[in-house]
Amino acid sequence: MKEIIIALVVVVVLFIVWSKRDPNREIPSTGIVSPADGKVSVVRKESDGRVRVGVFMNVYDVHVNRAPVSGYVKGIEHIPGGLFPAFSKESDRNERVRIVCTVDPSEESKVKASDEWEIVLIAGALARRIKPYIKVGDRIEKGERIGHIEFGSRVDVIFPAGRRIEDVLVKIGDRVRAGESILMESG
């Protein structure tokens, strides 16, 4: 019995260490990149006309989140909520951290400095801790590490007004990698 308990403890410790991995990534020079490793679970136009792309992170995905574009952090808001499975429709009501960014127009072609992007880190049924690494006023670089969500969860990018859903380069079910996979071309 003692051996079984030791084996279980070792497995749990190894899983926790493995879930905290943070590999380096090759950031492309152009395009708007995925904020998370995982599977695209949402591609939709919101009621305000903006486009949302969501990436579901399973427990085996890397859980470090990255900036999809370069710019400045304008606001960070923690929104309490439920803890529904991150892949379900109800997850829109989950606990989350909403990060509002303005884009640096020198970095992305045809982008206005007034364009506001949202990155929404959404907790899942097991993910009870969302840890942003950034604060209001920070300059962030595309592909930079901006936060971490414990265990399975979801990260959404809400593009500024004027972006078209037809310009999204990924579809539901596609596997993406944070900081590497391009969701939409710049501009």
Question: What secondary structure, in 3-state letters, does 65-113 show?
Answer: EECCCCEEEEEEEEECCECCCCCCHHHHHECEEEEEEEECCCCCCCCCC
Q: How far apart are CA 92 and CA 45, in angstroms?
A: 14
* Active-site option among 41, 70, 153, 181: 153
Output the CA angle 115-49-141, nearest 5 degrees.
30
Concerning whether 153 is annotated as a catalytic residue, the answer is: yes
Active site residues per annotation: 153
